[in-house]
Amino acid sequence: MTASGILFVLCAPSGTGKSTLVRRLVAEFPNFAFSVSCTTRAPRPSERDGHDYHFLSHEEFIRRRETGFFAEWAEVHGNLYGTPKAATLELLAAGRDVLFDIDVQGARQLRSSLGQGAYVFLFPPSPEELSRRLLGRGTETPQSLARRMAAAKDEIAHSPEFDYWIVNDDLETAYQQLRAIYLAEKCRPQYQHAWQHIVQQAWGLS
Ligand code: ADP
Ligand code: 5GP
């Protein structure tokens, strides 16, 4: 494909610090657009349809899935989630860098269906620190904490499939590593169509 934007996938067990890092990355680099997924889960009070997610009925999700609407899809915690393929390709073709908040199953499918991108896995420094962060958010019951810790183990088992690993121990170090990956990826020739054109003209290459 000839897209010039970067498909940037960041996966992490819940509570690791992904949202904290992503907020800083999009604030520093406004060329990022978020991929808005479709889901069958009910909206939370603060969520807006079309902004946080496209909220679909189960039937509508299945119908779209059968037409090849999704670049990837997965069932997470009993709900269906999917990335709309055409919208993603349009953003990339327009030169936007697209950031994905998807689970590890989705990351694997996205790589095989779109065949490009930078895939980053973010680790918590230890299981103890992950439970401290989850408890620190004040959103977990003992049952949901145990569920998230078990899910974290499953996700970490998939970490060898990723291109880059970052350990979110010291936040500043982790952020510097994340932005370094992004900046290095932008230097790949496939993302530099405008410069390629200039070089061809200037040096008489075709
Ligand atoms: P996620 O999006 O991965 O679920 P959050 O960004 O919501 O995680 O972070 C979970 C909690 O951990 C928050 O309270 C956040 O302030 C804290 N946190 C994030 N990164 C670090 C870090 N490097 N050191 C200590 N606490 C952190
Ligand atoms: P939440 O319901 O809390 O917003 O998201 C739950 C989980 O679903 C998170 O791990 C998130 O990364 C994942 N998720 C959200 N959208 C998608 C998607 O389009 N595809 C996949 N595979 N996972 C998604």
Q: Is the pTM of this model over 0.75?
A: yes
The CATH number of 35-94, from 3.40.50.880, 3.90.1170.50, 3.30.63.10, 3.40.50.300, is 3.30.63.10
Task: Tell me how far apart the alpha carbons of residues 206 and 7 are, in angstroms, rounded to a whole number.
Answer: 28
The pLDDT value given to residue 153: 97
Task: Tell me how far apart the alpha carbons of residues 100 and 9 are, in angstroms, rounded to a whole number.
Answer: 5
- Give the closest residue to 38 by CA, choosing from 1, 4, 2, 71: 71
Give strand pairing partners of 33: 98
Please write the tens of the pLDDT for every residue from 6-56.
999 999 999 999 999 999 999 999 999 999 999 999 998 889 999 999 999
Pocket test for ligand 2, best of 19, 103, 134, 158 (most atoms within 8 A of CB): 103
Please write the tens of the pLDDT for every residue from 52-105.
999 999 999 999 999 999 999 999 878 999 999 999 999 999 999 999 989 999
Ligand approaching nearest to the C-alpha of 55:
2
With a pLDDT cut of 90, the percent of the chain lying above it is: 85
Task: Tell me how far apart the alpha carbons of residues 67 and 11 are, in angstroms, rounded to a whole number.
Answer: 27
Mean pLDDT, residues 164-186 taken together: 98
Q: Determine the CATH number of domain 1-31+97-201.
A: 3.40.50.300
Q: Where are the domains of the chain?
A: 1-31+97-201, 35-94
**Atom from ligand 1 closest to the CA of residue 174:** 23
- How close is the Cα of 180 to the center of ligand 1, in Å? 20
> Taking a C-beta distance cutoff of 8 angstroms, is the pair 90, 7 a contact?
no
Ligand approaching nearest to the C-alpha of 21:
1
- How close is the Cα of 26 to the center of ligand 2, in Å? 19
**Atom from ligand 2 closest to the CA of residue 53:** 16
Give the phi and the psi of residue 204 in degrees, each rounded to 5. Answer: 65, 35
Mean pLDDT, residues 158-162 taken together: 97
